[in-house]
C-alpha cells in the first residue's frame, strides 16, 4: 500500500478532565513530527483517485485551510465504475471519555447512485462496519441529512451535492473501544461510482482532527435515573442510555427478554449509549436487563 505521512499538531494535554487532547491534519505538509502523527493509506489500485494537493476544479477550487486537501482527484471529475479508498490509523491513547474524529467536507456526487462510504475497524482491518445508522456510534452529526442515502449496493453513504464546508463529527465511547484487543482504530473513506457519468467532482475533505474529551460537544439529554430507556412504549428506535458515573463505564451484558422469560436477543460489551430497533421484534411486553461494570438493572419495555 502507498503510505502518506499525515502531519499532526499536538495542541492540548490532559491537564484537567475538561481539557481535550487533539491531533490535527490540514494536509499541508508542515511540521513533520513522527511522534505526533498518524498515517493515511491509499489503496494500491491503479484506479485509485484519492490525491492530496491543491483542488483545481470548477466547484472544488479551494481548501478549507489553504492550500491542500485530500480529494477524489485534484483536477478531474471522478470516473465511472470506480471504487477508491483511503484509510487512517489512529492510536487508542486513553480508556475514558469520548473519542471524536472531526473533518470538513464538500460533496458533489450523483445522488443515490454514487456515494461516499465511511467504515471503521476495531480488529486491524479484518472486518469493517458502516458508521451510518449504527448503535455503536456515540454521535455522528454536522452533515445535511438529505445527503445521507442508501446506494444501489445497499450501503448507507454520503450522496448528492453539498458545496458548503460542513464540520462533521464522528464520535465513539472510549470505554467501549478499550474492550478490543488492539491499540488502534481504523477508518476507511471510500467513493463508489456507477456506470453513468454525470460530470460530478466527488468528495473533498480537509482539516481532520482526532481528539478525546470528557465533555462532549453536544448537550446530552438530562438523565433522571441511572438507566434510561425511551421512548417506552415504542414502535421505532428505542434509546438506552446510562448516567456516566465513573471514567470506565460499559454495558457488559444486555438481554431482551419476552413475557415468557425467553431471551430474545443478547448483546455483550456495548457502549452505555446505545439503541435498538423495536421493529425487529413482535409487539408485546418485554424486559430489558442491563448489566454494567457497576450494577445490574431491569426495566419493563412495551413494543407496540
Residue 221 lies in a domain: no
- 272: domain CATH number is 2.60.40.10
Residue 83 lies in a domain: yes
State the pLDDT at residue 41.
Answer: 86
**What is the helix (H) or strand (E) element at residue 177, kind and residue range?**
helix 174-177
Q: How far apart are CA 27 and CA 20, in angstroms?
A: 22
Which is more confident, 25 or 232? 232
Domain boundary, last residue among 213, 240, 268? 213
Q: What is the dihedral of CA 73, 79, 82, 87, to 10 degrees?
A: 10
- 88: domain CATH number is 2.60.120.260
Q: How many domains does the chain have?
A: 2
The residues with which 83 forms a beta bridge, in sequence order, are 192
Residue 84 lies in a domain: yes
Domain boundary, last residue among 169, 185, 213? 213
Domain identity same for 153 and 72? yes
Handedness of CA 198, 72, 212, 297 (dihedral sign): positive
The overall longest dimension of the chain from CA atoms, in Å, is 64
Which is more confident, 4 or 161? 161
State the pLDDT at residue 219.
Answer: 46
Q: How far apart are CA 275 and CA 277, in angstroms?
A: 7
* Beta-sheet pairing, 284-292 with 273-277: unpaired
Phi and psi based region of residue 31 (left: phi greater than 0; alpha: psi -120 to 50; beta: remaining): left
Residue 222 lies in a domain: no
Phi and psi torsions of 101, nearest 5°: -105, 125
Compute the mean pLDDT over every residue in the chain, rounded to the nearest whole number: 88
Q: What's the pLDDT tens digit per position in 259-288?
A: 999 999 999 999 999 999 999 999 999 999
Judge whether residue 254 has pLDDT over 50: yes
Domain boundary, last residue among 160, 182, 213? 213
Q: How far apart are CA 173 and CA 171, in angstroms?
A: 7
Structural domain range at position 259: 227-303
Residue 219 lies in a domain: no
State the pLDDT at residue 18.
Answer: 37
Residue 253 lies in a domain: yes
Q: How far apart are CA 151 and CA 158, in angstroms?
A: 9
State the pLDDT at residue 6.
Answer: 44
Q: What's the pLDDT tens digit per position in 67-83?
A: 999 999 999 999 999 99
Q: How far apart are CA 168 and CA 141, in angstroms?
A: 6
- How many angstroms separate the Cα of 244 from the Cα of each of 30, 50, 267? 39, 40, 19
Identify the band that residue 33 occupies on the pLDDT scale cut at 50, 70 and 90.
low
Identify the band that residue 37 occupies on the pLDDT scale cut at 50, 70 and 90.
low
Amino acid at each position: 500500500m502507498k503510505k502518506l505521512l499525515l502531519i499532526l499538531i499536538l495542541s492540548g494535554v490532559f491537564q484537567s478532565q475538561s481539557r481535550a487532547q487533539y491531533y490535527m491534519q490540514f494536509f499541508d505538509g508542515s511540521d513533520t513530527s513522527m511522534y505526533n502523527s498518524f498515517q493515511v493509506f491509499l489503496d494500491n489500485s491503479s484506479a485509485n483517485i484519492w490525491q492530496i494537493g491543491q483542488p483545481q476544479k470548477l466547484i472544488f477550487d479551494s481548501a478549507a485551510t489553504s492550500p491542500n486537501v485530500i480529494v477524489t482527484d485534484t483536477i478531474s471529475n471522478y470516473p465511472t465504475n470506480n471504487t477508491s479508498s483511503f484509510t487512517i490509523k489512529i492510536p487508542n491513547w486513553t480508556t475514558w471519555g469520548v473519542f471524536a474524529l472531526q473533518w470538513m467536507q464538500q460533496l458533489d456526487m450523483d445522488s443515490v447512485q454514487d456515494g461516499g462510504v465511511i467504515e471503521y475497524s476495531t480488529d486491524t482491518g479484518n472486518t469493517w462496519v458502516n458508521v451510518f445508522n449504527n448503535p455503536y456510534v456515540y454521535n455522528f452529526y454536522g452533515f445535511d441529512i438529505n445527503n445521507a442515502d442508501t446506494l444501489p449496493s445497499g450501503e448507507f453513504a454520503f450522496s448528492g451535492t453539498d458545496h458548503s464546508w460542513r464540520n462533521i463529527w464522528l464520535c465513539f465511547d472510549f470505554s467501549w473501544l478499550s474492550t478490543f484487543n488492539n491499540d488502534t482504530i481504523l477508518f476507511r473513506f471510500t467513493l463508489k461510482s456507477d456506470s453513468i457519468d454525470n460530470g460530478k467532482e466527488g468528495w473533498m475533505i480537509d482539516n481532520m482532527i482526532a481528539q478525546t474529551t470528557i465533555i462532549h460537544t453536544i448537550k446530552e439529554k438530562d438523565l433522571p435515573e441511572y438507566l434510561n430507556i425511551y421512548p417506552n412504549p415504542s414502535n421505532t428506535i428505542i434509546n438506552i442510555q446510562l448516567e456516566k458515573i465513573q471514567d470506565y463505564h460499559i454495558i457488559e451484558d444486555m438481554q431482551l427478554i419476552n413475557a415468557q422469560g425467553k431471551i430474545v436477543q443478547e448483546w455483550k460489551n456495548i457502549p452505555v449509549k446505545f439503541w435498538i430497533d423495536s421493529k425487529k421484534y413482535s409487539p408485546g411486553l418485554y424486559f430489558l436487563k442491563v448489566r454494567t461494570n457497576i450494577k445490574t438493572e431491569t426495566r419493563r419495555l412495551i413494543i407496540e
